Amino acid sequence: MPSSSVTRTVSDASANADGLGAPLDYFASPTPEMLAIESAIGAAYEEGRLLFGDEDGDAWLAALENGTHPLCRIKTAAAPS
């Protein structure tokens, strides 16, 4: 059986004690903006559950598709172009 061509490389500069590197460091100290978005998403999720029921239901998915779900109101940073 051939071995995988996918390998994991972590440079010493970006690795922490767990070997996870910069992403873990980034999320270990969330910015106020990150905390605000997390709070807004949580509130919108709970509002959606009250309005549309379970997230696997047809009403939940339809509301996401047509833009009426509370999660559609969440504003996040635009993706880099």
Instruction: Using pLDDT thresholds of 50, 70 and 90, give the confidence band for residue 10.
Output: low
Residue 61 CA, chain-centre distance (Å), reads 18
Mapped onto helix, strand or coil, the DSSP state of residue 77 is: coil
Read off the pLDDT of residues 57-71 as tens digits, 9 standing for 90 and up: 999 999 999 999 999
- pLDDT score, position 25: 77
Q: Residues with Cβ < 8 Å from 44, sequence gap 6 or more?
A: 69, 70, 71, 73, 74
Q: Roughly what angle, to the nearest 10 degrees, separates helices 32-52 and 58-66?
A: 130
Q: What is the mean pLDDT of residues 32-37?
A: 90
Give the Cα separation of 14 and 8 in Å (integer). 13
For all residues of the chain together, what is the average pLDDT? 80
49: amino acid identity, one letter? R
Read off the pLDDT of residues 14-32 as tens digits, 9 standing for 90 and up: 555 555 567 777 778 888 9
- pLDDT score, position 79: 55
